[in-house]
């Protein structure tokens, strides 16, 4: 029995594309995978607290139905029978979806968010929800309803946020894959902190309806915000992008989406810029050395790597992000704060024009480069700090005391211009914490970012399952 359980655990920790192939080949059933994940959650989730809601009975019915369809020889989708959890800020039909807020403690949506519906249409079986900070508004994952989520690599450290439960669940092998959201780094931060793969797609590529950032939310789009997959391999990101990308259901009547192909198979000859530190946001020296080492490996593999980067001011572009994210997140704030923070519509229109100029500058830079590599967060996974409000939290970087909000500026930098960015693990620090890199591609060249993630992962092979799980 012990040996069989180990085999099962090895399979449960496999990437989604391998699990999907195993289900289709009838090497494992959807029901076996579901029960395997539930057993791992039962055993390991109490310490990590990534999964906060389960819908076991309905999921077992759906998994049995998936196995029945295969037995009959029915046509099946690319995710057929894969049991998954979904970030709790995303609406799931018939399953409590709270956005991490006490106001939605009893909220059970009548319909799936369009992106969730796409995963189900491709065959995935949704069986639970993963933890988020209140209204997805933090770089750590804790709330009044469900408490704190701990990093599987080091329980004393944060998973990052706001898709912290999602990334921890993927890292710990509680789910085949996950779907998070990212407005200020909420897919990318936890992917980096938990040592998994994440994609922040181009703005608008995956529908973001059904996103719960306030009571009554999810009926409109939030500026900068995207939904994106979190997984145990870069190839999974490609598989999931193919399932998820497409216009809003209401627009699909007339509009289609045709993402351009990656356009390359190997790193050789790729023109890659690097932007690994900036006076506005210094990067931890040990992490910086890992970034540089990764870039050197790419150069050895034939990529044309240089330190060129878009001719923009880091500080100015980040300041624009700050100006534009405040109106975008204002629905989650108390009215009196939101009214002040969201500013005037005229100020937003001026910011929109400034963003258009920046987007043009980035697009022009990309005519001479295929990709840009950046840090994710300036530090590896940081210790929990659930006592102080976010603006007051501090962290030491290279011996210097800094605001915690300083170290996540690399996320908004890319988010405000809407560009796709894949995160892939590149190694671990001396103390064993995983770190990742942002692989940034031109607007709507999401497949290029994902293909590069696959190539970089094949070269570095830095992904690992956390030792404790």
97, 162, 163, 330: which one is catalytic? 162
Among left, alpha and beta (phi > 0; psi -120 to 50; other), residue 384 is: beta
Q: Evaluate whether 271 touches 373 at the Cβ level (below 8 Å).
A: no
Give the rounded distance of the alpha carbon of 238 from its chain centre.
13
Q: How many CB atoms lie within 10 A of CB 400?
A: 8
Whether 186 is a known active-site residue: answer yes
Cα 334 to Cα 103: distance, rounded to the nearest angstrom: 13
Run of H or E residues at 2: helix 2-12
Whether 87 is a known active-site residue: answer yes
Cα 326 to Cα 342: distance, rounded to the nearest angstrom: 6
Please tell me the number of Cα atoms within 13 Å of 338 on its side-chain side: 10
Phi, psi of 229 (to 5 degrees): -80, 150
Omega of the bond leading into 424 within 30 degrees of 0 (cis): no
* Residue bearing tokens 């709270």: 98
Cα 131 to Cα 169: distance, rounded to the nearest angstrom: 9
Q: Evaluate whether 79 touches 16 at the Cβ level (below 8 Å).
A: yes
Q: Evaluate whether 176 touches 16 at the Cβ level (below 8 Å).
A: yes
87, 136, 202, 330: which one is catalytic? 87
Cα 128 to Cα 190: distance, rounded to the nearest angstrom: 19
Cα 24 to Cα 31: distance, rounded to the nearest angstrom: 13
Read off the tokens for 288: 């910086």
176, 186, 191, 332: which one is catalytic? 186
* Residue bearing tokens 């959201």: 181
Beta strands 83-87 and 125-130 are parallel
Read off the tokens for 336: 């009196």
Q: How many CB atoms lie within 10 A of CB 392?
A: 11
Cα 450 to Cα 331: distance, rounded to the nearest angstrom: 32
Phi, psi of 383 (to 5 degrees): -60, 150
Run of H or E residues at 394: strand 394-397
Beta strands 400-403 and 178-182 are unpaired
Residue (of 252, 374, 397, 256) closest to 310 by Cα position: 374
Cα 141 to Cα 382: distance, rounded to the nearest angstrom: 12
Active site residues: 87, 162, 186
């Amino acid at each position: 029995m012990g040996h069989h359980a180990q085999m099962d655990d090895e399979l449960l920790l496999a990437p989604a594309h391998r699990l999907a192939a195993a289900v289709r080949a009838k090497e494992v059933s959807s029901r076996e995978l579901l029960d395997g994940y539930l057993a791992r959650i039962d055993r390991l989730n109490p310490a990590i607290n990534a999964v906060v809601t389960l819908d076991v009975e309905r999921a077992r019915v759906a998994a049995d139905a998936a196995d029945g369809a295969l037995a009959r020889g029915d046509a099946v989708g690319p995710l057929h029978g894969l049991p998954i959890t979904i970030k709790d800020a995303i609406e799931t039909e018939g399953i409590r979806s709270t956005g991490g807020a006490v106001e939605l403690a009893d909220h059970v949506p009548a319909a799936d968010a369009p992106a969730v519906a796409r995963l189900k249409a491709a065959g995935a079986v949704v069986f639970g929800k993963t933890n988020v900070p209140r209204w997805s508004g933090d770089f750590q994952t804790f709330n009044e309803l469900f408490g704190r989520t701990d990093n599987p690599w080091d329980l004393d450290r944060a998973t990052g946020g706001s898709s912290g439960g999602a990334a921890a669940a993927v890292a710990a092998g509680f789910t085949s894959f996950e779907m998070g959201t990212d407005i200020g780094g909420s897919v990318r931060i936890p992917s980096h902190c938990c040592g998994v793969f994440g994609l922040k797609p181009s703005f608008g590529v995956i529908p973001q309806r059904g996103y719960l950032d306030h009571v009554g939310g999810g009926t409109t789009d939030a500026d900068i915000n995207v939904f994106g997959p979190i997984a145990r391999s870069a190839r999974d990101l490609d598989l999931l992008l193919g399932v998820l990308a497409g216009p809003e259901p209401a627009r699909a009547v007339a509009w289609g989406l045709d993402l351009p192909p990656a356009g390359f198979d190997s790193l050789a000859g790729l023109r890659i810029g690097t932007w690994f530190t900036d006076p506005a946001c210094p990067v931890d020296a040990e992490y910086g050395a890992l970034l540089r080492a990764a870039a050197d490996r790419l150069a050895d593999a034939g990529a044309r790597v240089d330190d060129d980067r878009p001719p923009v001011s880091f500080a100015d572009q980040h300041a624009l992000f700050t100006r534009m994210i405040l109106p975008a997140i204002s629905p989650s704030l108390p009215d009196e704060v939101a009214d002040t923070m969201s500013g005037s519509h005229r100020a937003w229109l001026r910011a929109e024009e400034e963003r258009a100029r920046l987007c043009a500058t980035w697009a022009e830079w990309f005519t001479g480069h295929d990709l840009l590599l950046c840090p994710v967060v300036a530090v590896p996974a940081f210790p929990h700090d659930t006592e102080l409000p976010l603006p007051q939290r501090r962290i030491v970087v290279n011996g210097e005391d800094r605001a915690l909000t300083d170290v996540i500026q690399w996320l908004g930098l890319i988010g405000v211009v809407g560009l796709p960015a894949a995160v892939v693990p590149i190694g671990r620090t001396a103390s064993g914490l995983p770190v990742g890199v942002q692989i940034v591609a031109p607007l709507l060249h999401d497949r290029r970012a994902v293909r590069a993630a696959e190539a970089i992962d094949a070269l570095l092979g830095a992904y690992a399952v956390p030792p404790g799980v």
